Amino acid sequence: MEYIQRLPFILATFMAIIMGLISNIYGSSNNETYIRMAICMIIFFIIGMYLKNIILSIYHDIEAKKEKEEQEKQAELERLENEKNNINASNEQTQEKSGVDYTVGGTDEELPLGEDFTPLTVSEVINGNKQMKK
């Protein structure tokens, strides 16, 4: 950024030096060379200021665009987080409201599961198959 702030001076000085060398090569008088260099410095200083302003405005526009995109991303993340919280809250409410009782036949004391069941022995299966074939 420092070079951009110094751009008008650097451009004007560089072009004045070039103008002085060109005038000296063609053999102009010193007064004429100094006048050309001064005019060249003024013109290119103005051009440099114009370029500096253009470059700085582009830079500020880019920074503003980045900041805006960052704010949009932050807003999107907050919106998604709020939606997630709302979905979680609604799921909790539906679970509380459903009230479905998944137990079968009451409590364990009313229906002991192990006492009613008797395993079938292998010999009964074999004897049962022989009786069916007859």
DSSP string, 58-122: HHHHHHHHHHHHHHHHHHHHHHHHHHHHHHHHHHHHHHHHH-----SSSSTTTS-TTTS--PPPH
Alpha carbon distance 4, 122 (integer Å) = 97
**CB atoms closer than 10 angstroms to residue 12:** 21
| Three-state SS letters, 57-72 | HHHHHHHHHHHHHHHH
pLDDT at 76 over 80: yes
How is the chain split into domains, by residue range?
A: 1-91
* pLDDT for residue 100: 61
Q: For 29-42, what is each residue's pLDDT tens digit?
A: 889 999 999 999 99
Who's near 56: CB < 8 A, 6+ residues apart? 4
Res. 104 pLDDT band, cuts 50 70 90: low
C-alpha distances (whole Å) from 24 to each of 20, 34, 37, 61, 121 are 6, 10, 11, 44, 122
* pLDDT for residue 74: 92
Q: CA angle 55-59-60, nearest 5°? A: 120
Task: Determine the straight-line distance between the first and last CA of the chain, rounded to whole angstroms.
Answer: 105
pLDDT at 131 over 70: no
